[in-house]
Amino acid sequence: MSHDPSTPAIVSILAGGIAGAIEGFSTYPFEFAKTRVQLREQKGQPTPRNPFRVVAQVYTQEGLAALYKGCSTLVIGSVAKDGIRFVSFDTIKNQFKDPETGTLTPLRNLGAGMCSGVVASITAVTPTERIKTALIDDARNERRFRSMTHCIKTILREDGFIGLYRGFVGTTLKQAGATAFRMGTYNILKDYEQKRNIKQSTLTNFGNGSVAGIVTTLATQPFDTIKTRCQSSRGASTIEAFQSIVADYGIGGFWKGTTMRLGRTVFSGGILFTTYEWAAAILNPLFGVKAHN
């Protein structure tokens, strides 16, 4: 992500939104399988332990369209989430800079990422994740929801507005940690490369983003699993989700879906940051920002 303080907020929002949409759609089958693995097993229908088998099973039995159940919700959420996340990180990191040197230490980088993750969770991530997860869970058996709109109306009717914020604690912890590690790791790597005059290219952007994705996944997977259980079609409290995971799988259950989420985040991190840098490079001149060598 660009460190150029002259980048306008509108460029950060637009570039982040474009990056989020492309990343969300292109990696959605990974997200679908990860969510299925994390949800409670249905009686007599155990979920395969290998998430790749989940993809194969759903594709064989339900077709390609089933693998994209809830995708439109995720893409819409990703546009909002990443637009907000990039612009809030750009804004917040300026407040975290050392007043004397004007630079960001690795710890300040992580702090800025954590704050922007909380902002993204409150404004966009929790409700869209709730809808996406409910749609995926519902499609396994009950099939109450006819569409994304019908799902939202049903949740609002049954639980009120607060129903859209099921899993808020787990989602916010995940987003705070994920944004801190993803943005922080990416910018730490980019700072390291720039100090050593390593040329920034599509390959380095993708590589940095992929490394950031791996670090993020391993550090935040337990929060993601709790969030998924909370946001099932019928919903659950954070305590109920925690207890059900331990009861079903023990402590190791908190890392359910790690393989598939790693598969997704390696690609998503690379796609997200590469697309952001590409989109920002195109948009900056349109808003009067000159390119820097």
pLDDT classification of 226: cutoffs 50, 70, 90: very high
Give the pLDDT confidence score for residue 165 in this predicted structure.
93
Q: Has residue 203 got a pLDDT over 60?
A: yes
Per-domain residue ranges of the chain: 9-286
Q: Has residue 154 got a pLDDT over 90?
A: yes
The type of residue at 100 is E
User: For 249-258, which contacts have Cβ atoms below 8 Å and span 24 or more sequence positions?
Assistant: 253/225, 254/221, 254/222, 254/225, 254/226, 255/221, 255/222, 255/225, 256/37, 256/38, 256/225, 257/33, 257/34, 257/35, 257/37, 257/38, 257/51, 257/221, 257/224, 257/225, 257/228, 258/217, 258/218, 258/221
Distances (CA, A) of 79 to 5, 48, 59, 73: 22, 31, 27, 10
Give the pLDDT confidence score for residue 93 in this predicted structure.
79
Average pLDDT, the chain: 83
Q: Has residue 83 got a pLDDT over 90?
A: no
Give the pLDDT confidence score for residue 1 in this predicted structure.
45
Give the pLDDT confidence score for residue 247 in this predicted structure.
92
Give the pLDDT confidence score for residue 196 in this predicted structure.
84
* pTM (predicted TM-score): 0.66
d(CA 31, CA 103): 35
pLDDT classification of 233: cutoffs 50, 70, 90: confident
Q: Has residue 290 got a pLDDT over 70?
A: no
Give the pLDDT confidence score for residue 218 in this predicted structure.
84
pLDDT per position as a tens digit, 3-37: 455 568 888 888 888 988 898 888 888 888 888 88
pLDDT per position as a tens digit, 235-274: 888 899 999 999 988 998 898 878 878 877 777 778 888 8
pLDDT classification of 293: cutoffs 50, 70, 90: very low
At the topology level of CATH, where does 9-286 sit? Answer: Mitochondrial carrier fold (1.50.40)
Q: Has residue 49 got a pLDDT over 70?
A: no
